[in-house]
Amino acid sequence: MILLCKVAVEVPWYVPCGGVCYGDGNLAFIANDWHTALLPVYLKAFYRDNGLMKYARSVLVIHNIAHQGRGPPDDFLHMDLPDHYMDLFKLYDPVGGDHCNIFAAGIKTADQVVTVSHGYAWEIKTSEGGWGLHNIINENGWKLRGIVNGIDTTEWNPKYDVHLKSDGRLDGQKGVDLIAEAIHWIVSQDVQLVMLGMGRRDLEDMLKKFESQYHNKVRCWVGFSVRLAHRITAGADILIMPSRFEPCGLNQLYAMKYGTIPVVHAVGGLRDTVVQFDPLRETGLGWTFDRAETCKLIDTLGNSLKTYRYYKESWKGLQNRGMSQDLSWDNAAQHYEEVLVAAKYQW
C-alpha cells in the first residue's frame, strides 16, 4: 500500500495520458478511502513542500469512515516521511489509546474531501458517526462535500439486462439482526422473504436456521451468486435495508431502477435517495424509518404491505417514479468536476 501510493504520485512523470506525460503540470489525484489516503500526504511531503508539482491537487473520497488504517504509533516509521509529519497521524481515543491513523493524515492533507452522500457528510461530523475522527472532520469541514453515487445504467437496465453484480455483506452495519427480531411477524404477513449474503459466521448460521424453521416462507442463500442476485432484485416487490449506517448504498438504487420499492432506515445515503411516500400528494419513492429498532421496521414494512395490497395505483406510482429517475453517474460526475475546480483554485 505504501509503495503503491508513492508510485501513484510518480505516474504523471512517466506514464503518458492521452499521449502526454503531465509531470509537474496541472493535474488532480483522486484517492479512495484509507487504503490510498497516503497519496495526498506523499504529494505534499515529497513534492509540494519542495516546490514541485505545485499545481497538482488531491481529492480524498470517504466511502466508509469506520475503516481508518489504524495501527500502533511505530507504524509511522515504515512510511518514509519526515519526522514532523508524525503529528498528522497521531490520534488518541479512549478505547484504542495512542495510535497511528492513516485516514486522519489523508483528511488533513487532501485539498478537497468528498463523501458519498449528503447525509453521510453530516453524520461523520458527529461523535456517533465519525468513529473517532469527527473532530478532524469538523476542523476540515470547509473542504468537505457530499456527492451521491450513481449507478451503471447500462449494466443495471431492465430493458437490456445481462447478469448483474450485487454484494450482500452480513454484519452489524447492515441491520440483519433487526430482520431476525422481526422474522416471526414477517412470516405471519403472508409474504415470502428472500435473503442473499455472506459475512459473519453467526449471521450466516442464523439465516440457515430461518430457512429450516420457515421453509415455505423464507429462502436464504449464504454466499455470492451474480445470477441469483439479479433474479432477486428483478423479482422482489420490496427491498428491506435496515442498515445502522450506510454511507451511500447502491442496492436501493438498483431496486428502484427495477420497480422494487425500498423500505430503509433513514441514514446516510438512504436518507438522500429514498424519499418517504406521501399518500395524499402521491409523491415519494419508498418508506423510511427513523430509528434502527425492530418496532420501527415492523410498522414501516406494515405500511408498505398495506399499500401494495390495497392501493394498487399508488404502488404503480411509486414504481414509475423510481424507474424514471436519472440514477446514472452523469449528475455525480458534474459535482466531482466542481470539486476538482475548487481544488485547483483554492491555493
Domain count, the chain: 2
Q: What angle do CA 265, 266, 270 make, to 5 degrees?
A: 95
| Terminal-to-terminal C-alpha distance of the chain | 28
Cell numbers found for residue 186 = 414477517
Is 266 in a helix, a strand, or coil?
A: coil
Q: Is 263 found in the same domain as 124?
A: no
Residue by residue, what is the 3-state secondary structure of 112-167?
Answer: EEEECCHHHHHHCCCCCCCCCCHHHHHHCHHHEEECCCCCCCCCCCCCCCCCCCCC
Q: Is 95 found in the same domain as 27?
A: yes
Does 164 map to a domain?
no
Helix axes 176-187, 201-213, angle to 10 degrees: 0
Does 60 map to a domain?
yes
- In the Cβ-directed half-sphere of 196, how many Cα atoms lie within 13 Å? 17
pLDDT value of residue 160? 56
Do strands 193-199 and 218-222 pair parallel, antiparallel, or not at all (unpaired)? Answer: parallel
Chain centre to alpha carbon of residue 147: 11
> What Rg value do the Cα atoms of the chain yield, rounded?
23
Does 159 map to a domain?
no
Does 156 map to a domain?
no
At 263, give phi and psi (nearest 5°).
Answer: -120, 115
pLDDT value of residue 1? 87
> Concatenated DSSP letters for 174-205?
GTHHHHHHHHHHHHTTS--EEEEEEE-HHHHH
Does 163 map to a domain?
no
CATH number for the domain harbouring residue 218: 3.40.50.2000
For residue 184, which of 203, 221, 209 has the smallest C-alpha distance? 209
- Mean pLDDT of the 335-347 span: 91
Cell numbers found for residue 232 = 432477486
Q: Is 18 found in the same domain as 144?
A: yes
Helix axes 312-323, 294-310, angle to 10 degrees: 110
pLDDT value of residue 228? 82
Does 161 map to a domain?
no
Does 229 map to a domain?
yes
pLDDT band with cut points at 50, 70 and 90 for residue 162? very low
Helix axes 294-310, 176-187, angle to 10 degrees: 50
Q: Is 138 found in the same domain as 113?
A: yes
Q: Is 214 found in the same domain as 134?
A: no
Q: Is 25 found in the same domain as 6?
A: yes
Chain segment 30-86, per-residue pLDDT in tens:
999 999 999 999 999 999 999 999 999 999 999 999 999 999 999 999 999 999 999
Does 41 map to a domain?
yes
Q: Is 175 found in the same domain as 276?
A: yes
101 - beta bridge partners? Answer: 70
Q: Which helix (H) or strand (E) holds 46?
A: none
Which range marks the domain in which residue 123 is found?
2-150+330-345
pLDDT value of residue 166? 33
For residue 340, which of 150, 112, 145 has the smallest C-alpha distance? 112
Q: Is 175 found in the same domain as 132?
A: no
Q: Within a 10 A sphere around the Cβ of 94, how many other Cβ atoms?
A: 6
For residue 260, which of 342, 321, 195, 196 has the smallest C-alpha distance? 321
Q: Which of 7-11, 29-33, 180-184, 185-189 has the highest mean pLDDT?
A: 29-33
Distance, in Å, from the CA atom of 324 to the CA atom of 232, rounded to the nearest integer, reads 20
Fill in the DSSP letter of residue 275. Answer: P
Q: Is 225 found in the same domain as 111?
A: no
pLDDT value of residue 157? 76
Block residue for cell numbers 430509528: 291
Cell numbers found for residue 73 = 504509533
Do strands 28-32 and 57-62 pair parallel, antiparallel, or not at all (unpaired)? Answer: parallel
Q: Is 209 found in the same domain as 298?
A: yes
Q: Is 182 found in the same domain as 127?
A: no
Portion of the chain with pLDDT greater than 90, in percent: 72
Q: Is 336 found in the same domain as 309?
A: no
286 - beta bridge partners? Answer: 276
> Lowest-confidence range among 28-32, 101-105, 126-130, 224-228?
224-228
